[in-house]
Amino acid sequence: MSTTVVTGSTSGIGAATRAALREAGHAVVGVDLSGADVTADLSTAEGRQRAVDAVLDRCSGRLDGLVACAGLGPHVDDPARIVAVNYLGAVDLLDGLFPALRAGSGPAAVAVSSVAAAHLTWETNPIAAAVDSGDFSGVEKAVASAGEYRGQFAYAAAKNALTVAVRRRAVEWGAAGVRLNTVAPGAVDTPLLRAGEDDPRYGASIRGFTAPLGRHGRPDEIASLIVYLLGPHAGFVHGAQFVIDGGADAALRPHAV
């Protein structure tokens, strides 16, 4: 039986992924703030290390899959916390659990990014310097130009940085036999999206935007793609990002390739 870790496992896409993996026969170790197999706050370095240590203890240093799904939405007022969870909360677990994945059977990992990752280039990403230096103390200042919308700026920056981080690891991970990809959901009906709909800054635009397919996505639809990417039928899929957004990115950027 494959053992797979899912962060953000108690709600939204993470909960749907946990359920889909269990249905597919995986032993799943959930990580979340509460109600999970491993409780840890991924917004702090101590919490991220706690999560890594607890997972390694549970799986005895051998892991077959990892889904880095935990995340915060742009409605959160603290941009540094958004970056800490959405970027470091994924990357630190990817790196911390890489040795265990190398010891696994047909190992693969998926990081949950966002279509918002394409709203910036790496050259214009306000946290690119922090990512390259490892010093995240200036995140709030870096996104301050967005004013009350700094949460959205931080969210897009963190998701862009996460996608770049996955691509940067493709050579090393591929050589080790561990596949690593990202999925980039659009608007998905989750508690995170509903919190955004209730926010006075973002609510109207979220409620007013409809993807070309005419609806929001469902968490189980994103989970099905994640399960595929972890499985043997995706054996040659590596270092890629899969947009799953009902056609929203194609409508906004029809000439992007």
The whole-angstrom separation of Cα 165 and Cα 131 is 9
Q: Is 164 helix (H, G, I), strand (E, B) or coil?
A: helix
Instruction: Reduce the DSSP state of residue 227 to 3 states and report it.
Output: helix
- Token pair of 231 as six digits: 């499985």
* Catalytic residue status for 155: yes
- For helices 89-102 and 45-59, the axis angle rounded to 10 degrees is 20
Query: Which residues lie below 8 Å from residue 93, measured CB to CB, with a gap of 6+?
Result: 5, 7, 31, 42, 48, 51, 52, 55, 66, 68
Among candidate residues 87, 149, 155, 228, the one labeled active-site is 155
Burial class (CB in 10 A: 0-12, 13-18, 19+), 12: buried
Residues with catalytic annotation? 155
